[in-house]
Amino acid sequence: MKYVVVVLGLLIASCSQKQVEKTRPNIIFMMSDDHAYQAISAYSDKLIQTPNIDRIAKEGMLFTNASVTNSICAPSRAVILTGKHSHLNGKIDNLSKFDTTNVTFPQLLQKAGYQTAMFGKLHFGNNPKGFDEFKILPGQGSYYNPKFITQKGDTIINGYVTDITTDLALDWLEHRRVPEKPFLLMYLHKAPHRAWYPDEKHYKEFTKKTFPLPATLFDDYEGRVAAKTAEMNILNHMLLSYDNKIEEDVLKRLKVKGGARSEVNRMTPEQRSSWDSVYGAINEDFEKRYPTMDDKQLMEWKYQRYLQDYLGTIASVDENVGRLMTYLDDHKLSDNTVIIYTSDQGFYLGEHGWFDKRFMYDESFKTPLLIKWPHKITPGTSEDEMVQNLDFAQTFLEMAGVTAPKDMQGKSLVPLLTGKKEQWDRDAVYYHYYEYPSEHAVKRHYGIATKEYKIIHFYHDVNEWELYDRNKDPQELNNVFNDPKYAPIVIKMKQKLKEVREKYKDSEALDNHYIQLYKD
């Protein structure tokens, strides 16, 4: 009799465990690199249509005030994995090493019984912790015929990187996913990272398009000292060869510098022939027109070339998001799968005359965030609360029923996702950028943003303050820090900034520590 009781107990326990596994959602984290929210039609349809990414918002929630803590690739990814600000996880820039003693949310999900996989661009570290399987690009990776790092060694896969990343994810779902276990799939695209090489069908389409000029393309940066010294202006700093795809022999004849290109050297003869059939005509046209162009005309020409290639890479991302979502539908996985689409930060698409990111101004500070969670999120909703990539780790852990470590600094988004907004109490988010002196020459700065105002302190070799009225000045053209009418707001925001820095354990001592690391 005792034996029967034990067996029955084991059966009940087994059934209970299977029931738990069925109720814990699968999680697919989709992230692109440098995907501006302005280039997702769920936010704005002025530049491109992204119906597959938009579908996530239609069936879930669109966040309109999502931001990052440090707008640069590798640090953003470290914040996402650890749930800690850069000054605590140690990954302050693209140069410093990631401290592998950090505990990451994939490790915790794996320990809790999730099957885990990562495909695409991690940007740092060759052996990501907490994954049963991975195939990741080394560093920035390549658009054409890319190399991948795997547990079994490096390999080169012929084709276009966005398609390949999706192929790898689908192959894993089809052949190595364990149906009895919930899974975490990190599906990470290289695109649309510089230098923006579209797939063949999309460069044939997008190089024929013309895009509206942003209102601030010719911004003069009045009242913004740090903006004046940054090196990311489309006219002055975007490279004609490296970025705009003008051949070096053309530039030699025109006696113009343009930067070397390496991506075309990875192409097969067939790929290169197709490329030349389109970009050859662009080169011929540029060589004829350049001698008569003034700075305004050249700026506008470079802007159009930039957008054609940048948006062409996004068209592939959207297509492939659709491929993955169709697979989930066809295999009856959609009903219990959370889908998150985001970027590692925002990006300038000509606003303020810029490309790249780094600043706390909205185009790089804000990031797209769309989340679908069947039966939990009311479809087609939007949310304007101040959320950050700092919050992702704790959100995923709560979704999976896993207790988050106490030293994580974010807030789970689950209350916002499930209609319990009264439980959300954040009124300001914190930002800190460190990578200076370095590429693009964006000064070190930190600040906070509320829904109404944004205060920024630029430091290191300068001591400049900026304040923006986010409602009256959404383009952030008017620094009102020294405007007497805003004096009470300055006092209030400075005090709030001090409190937030203390809350997140950042300090002037840490600022000086990281400055010294650069000197050493």
Residue 87 binned pLDDT confidence (cut-offs 50, 70, 90): very high
pLDDT in tens, 300-335: 999 999 999 999 999 999 999 999 999 999 999 999
- Confidence at residue 80, expressed as pLDDT on a 0 to 100 scale: 98
Mean pLDDT of the chain: 95
Q: Any idea where the domains of the chain sit in the sequence?
A: 22-196+312-427, 200-306, 432-519
Closest CA to 188 of 120, 137, 244: 120
Which of 10-14, 66-70, 365-369, 386-390 comes out lowest in average pLDDT?
10-14
> If one looks up domain 432-519 in CATH, what number appears?
3.30.1120.10
Beta strands in 11-146 (DSSP E): 26-32, 61-63, 66-67, 115-120, 133-136
pLDDT in tens, 152-198: 899 999 999 999 999 999 999 999 999 999 999 999 999 999 999 99
Integer Cα distance of 62 and 67 in angstroms: 13
For residues 26 and 185, the answer to whether their CB atoms sit within 8 Å is: yes
Residue range 22-196+312-427 in CATH 3.40.1190.20: no
Helices 161-175, 295-330: inter-axial angle, 10-degree rounding: 10
pLDDT in tens, 484-518: 999 999 999 999 999 999 999 999 999 999 999 88
Beta strands in 234-278 (DSSP E): none
Residue 102 above 80 pLDDT? yes
Residue 19 above 60 pLDDT? no
For residues 445 and 225, the answer to whether their CB atoms sit within 8 Å is: no
- Confidence at residue 12, expressed as pLDDT on a 0 to 100 scale: 43
Residue 11 binned pLDDT confidence (cut-offs 50, 70, 90): very low
Does 195 sit behind a cis peptide bond, omega within 30 degrees of 0 on the bond before it? yes
Beta strands in 146-292 (DSSP E): 147-150, 153-156, 183-188
Q: Which helix (H) or strand (E) holds 227?
A: helix 225-229
- Confidence at residue 282, expressed as pLDDT on a 0 to 100 scale: 98
Integer Cα distance of 460 and 311 in angstroms: 36
Residue 204 above 60 pLDDT? yes
pTM (two decimals):
0.95
- Confidence at residue 23, expressed as pLDDT on a 0 to 100 scale: 83
Residue 262 binned pLDDT confidence (cut-offs 50, 70, 90): confident
Residue 15 above 90 pLDDT? no
- Cβ contacts of 38 within 8 Å, gap of 6 or more: 44, 46, 47, 349, 351, 363
pLDDT in tens, 118-150: 999 999 876 899 999 999 999 999 999 999 999
- Confidence at residue 40, expressed as pLDDT on a 0 to 100 scale: 98
Residue 21 binned pLDDT confidence (cut-offs 50, 70, 90): low
Tokens of 339: 């889908």
Average pLDDT over residues 266-274: 97
pLDDT in tens, 415-444: 999 999 999 999 999 999 999 999 999 999
- Confidence at residue 519, expressed as pLDDT on a 0 to 100 scale: 82
Closest CA to 34 of 77, 63, 64, 65: 77
pLDDT in tens, 223-256: 999 999 999 999 999 999 999 999 999 999 999 9
DSSP helix/strand/coil, 120: strand
Average pLDDT over residues 35-62: 98
- Confidence at residue 8, expressed as pLDDT on a 0 to 100 scale: 45
- Confidence at residue 17, expressed as pLDDT on a 0 to 100 scale: 43
Q: What percent of the chain has pLDDT over 70?
A: 96
- Cβ contacts of 246 within 8 Å, gap of 6 or more: 240, 258, 282, 283, 286
- Confidence at residue 22, expressed as pLDDT on a 0 to 100 scale: 60
